[in-house]
Amino acid sequence: MKHLKAWLGAAALMLAGTAAQADTIKVGLLFTLSGPGASLGDQMDKAVRLYIKQHEKELPPGTKIELIRRDETGPKPDVVKRLAQELITRDRVQVLAGFTYTPNAMATAPLATEAKVPMVVMNAGTSAIVRQSPYIVRTSFTMWQSGYPLGQWAAAQQGVKTGYTAVADYAPGHDIEQSFIKGFTEAGGEIIGSVRMPVFAQDYTPFLQRVKDAKPDVLCIFVPAGKQATAIVKAYNDLGMAEAGIRLIGPGDLTPDDELANMNELPEGVITTIHHYSAAGDRPANKAFVEAWQKEYGQDSVPGFLAVGAYDGMAAIFHAIKAQNGKWDPDRAMEMLKGWKHESPRGPMMIDPKTRDIVQNEYLRKLVRVNGKLANVEIETIPMVEDPWVKFNPPK
């Protein structure tokens, strides 16, 4: 009995302790830090750490931010759902953030709704994600934002009549396939074939050989960024598809800034992409971001779109904390994030108050050499693109 009292006392003290620390905001971070996608999570993790290092002082006095980091281990909805559940129930996090892959975000969405924990999607790009819970905002991009304009642009190019799509066989790949085909055919192009490939295929050559033998004018590819992108771009190069007159295009996942060093043998100018961020972007906010990044992580390290999605995701969380003066109420936080405008390294961005999804510039980029290194150089801007998917798939 005596022991029990002592225990209860200790428990009461601990509870009092947590209450006293109410101004510590706990953020549960879910990144893919191992397996074939390890480099993706690494970019996101580094961006979050950099943002906090730069901006921690701006938090309201007495407010602290505590990060609890978990490894998604890949596109693994079952693993991530369990981790998110532990973060919510055991660690009592007030925000969930990260989500490298779509299936992980999809699996966590019902938990966010049930537990009323805002969920900041820092990468996963399938359009339908934000509809899965009223507690989701996205600071990355949607596949339709790049796929649809890419299709329209490609069909308008001289000498382009036929197109082919090759995508990783999961939700974001399906989004690119559908959005590109819609944009391309609406603008008068003809699709002569589509192939869906395993998400982490070992060898892309057989798939691309099939495309090469079909001789389309333009090939649109989506695979997850990271080593998959390098592998498929190398296969395109090895097969001599550029020489065969097949132009390679895709969303920016095809030429992630942080993978370009591994693609160095590529000839210039064969790949055109549309995306929202390039490390080579000529904007003051971006120059400052890249400089701070390289000061922190070395001259050879380059931040890509994954880094920017996570960097701006932290900015969103900071905005919601500051707007509530250090307190955290999930519903108020969501209100603060709706319509939030931000000057990001990628250019201006906004969270659409209705859809809670991102509105941002998309850039047409050519892969060329700058000072001997490959870079995605922006040549055209499509200003403030809303997710076209919403227009074609209105909420029921």
Q: Which residues bind another protein (CB under 8 A)?
A: 33-36, 38-39, 42, 195-198, 202-203, 205-207, 209-210, 213, 226-227, 231, 234, 237-240, 243, 261-262, 264-265
Residue 44 Cβ vs another protein, minimum distance, rounded to whole Å:
14
Q: How many CB atoms lie within 10 A of CB 383?
A: 10
d(CA 315, CA 205): 41
Q: Which is nearer to another protein, 186 or 203 (CB)?
A: 203
Q: Please tell me what DSSP assigns to residue 254.
A: G
Residues 6+ apart with CB under 8 A from 2: none
Q: Which is nearer to another protein, 259 or 387 (CB)?
A: 259
Residue 359 Cβ vs another protein, minimum distance, rounded to whole Å:
33
Q: Which is nearer to another protein, 234 or 322 (CB)?
A: 234
Q: Which is nearer to another protein, 174 or 319 (CB)?
A: 174
Which residue type does 70 have?
R
Residue 333 Cβ vs another protein, minimum distance, rounded to whole Å:
33
Q: Which is nearer to another protein, 130 or 223 (CB)?
A: 223
* 3-class state of residue 70 by DSSP: strand
d(CA 73, CA 233): 24
Residues 6+ apart with CB under 8 A from 125: 102, 140, 141, 142, 143, 172, 175
Q: Which is nearer to another protein, 89 or 209 (CB)?
A: 209
Residue 242 Cβ vs another protein, minimum distance, rounded to whole Å:
11
Q: Which is nearer to another protein, 265 or 282 (CB)?
A: 265
Which residue type does 317 have?
I
In DSSP terms, 31 is beta-bridged to 71
Query: Which tokens go with 343?
Result: 């000057």
Helices marked H in 116-271? 143-155, 171-186, 205-214, 227-238
Residue 146 Cβ vs another protein, minimum distance, rounded to whole Å:
23
Q: Which is nearer to another protein, 36 or 348 (CB)?
A: 36
Residue 269 Cβ vs another protein, minimum distance, rounded to whole Å:
17
Burial class (CB in 10 A: 0-12, 13-18, 19+), 344: buried
Residue 202 Cβ vs another protein, minimum distance, rounded to whole Å:
6
Q: Which is nearer to another protein, 71 or 378 (CB)?
A: 71
d(CA 280, CA 300): 14
Residue 238 Cβ vs another protein, minimum distance, rounded to whole Å:
4
Q: Check: CB of residue 389 under 8 Å from CB of residue 175.
A: yes
Query: Which tokens go with 7?
Result: 């225990």
For residue 100, give the nearest of 41, 143, 51, 45 by alpha carbon: 41
Residue 39 Cβ vs another protein, minimum distance, rounded to whole Å:
5
In the chain the beta strands, taken as DSSP E runs, fall at 24-31, 64-71, 95-98, 119-121, 136-138, 162-168, 190-197, 218-222, 247-251, 271-275, 341-344, 347-351, 358-370, 373-385
